Amino acid sequence: MPEAYSYLAESIDAWPKQAELAKLIEKVGYQSVEFRNQSLGIVAIHTGTKPEKAN
């Protein structure tokens, strides 16, 4: 692998797995968090709902 791309493996290893990222999103307050894998799990689309602020 060319040296210019050597950071990619480290970056991929450091990024949280799909379920772990979903839990982090819930932890900061989003609700109904889900994820869908795309491209055999290379990419995941996470969605969630931000709750309305209480008055």
Across the range 7-23, mean pLDDT stands at 92
- 20-55 pLDDT, tens digit per residue, is 999 999 999 999 999 999 999 889 999 999 999 866
The domain tally of the chain equals 1
Establish if 25 belongs to a structural domain. Answer: yes
Q: What does the pLDDT read at residue 42?
A: 87
Cβ atoms of 48 and 29 within 8 Å: the answer is: no
Establish if 55 belongs to a structural domain. Answer: no
Establish if 20 belongs to a structural domain. Answer: yes
Domain that residue 19 falls in = 3-49
Tokens 């689309």, residue?
45
Establish if 54 belongs to a structural domain. Answer: no
Q: What does the pLDDT read at residue 36?
A: 98
Query: Across the chain, which distance is largest between two alpha carbons, in Å?
Result: 55
Cβ atoms of 25 and 17 within 8 Å: the answer is: no
For residue 8, pLDDT beyond 90:
no
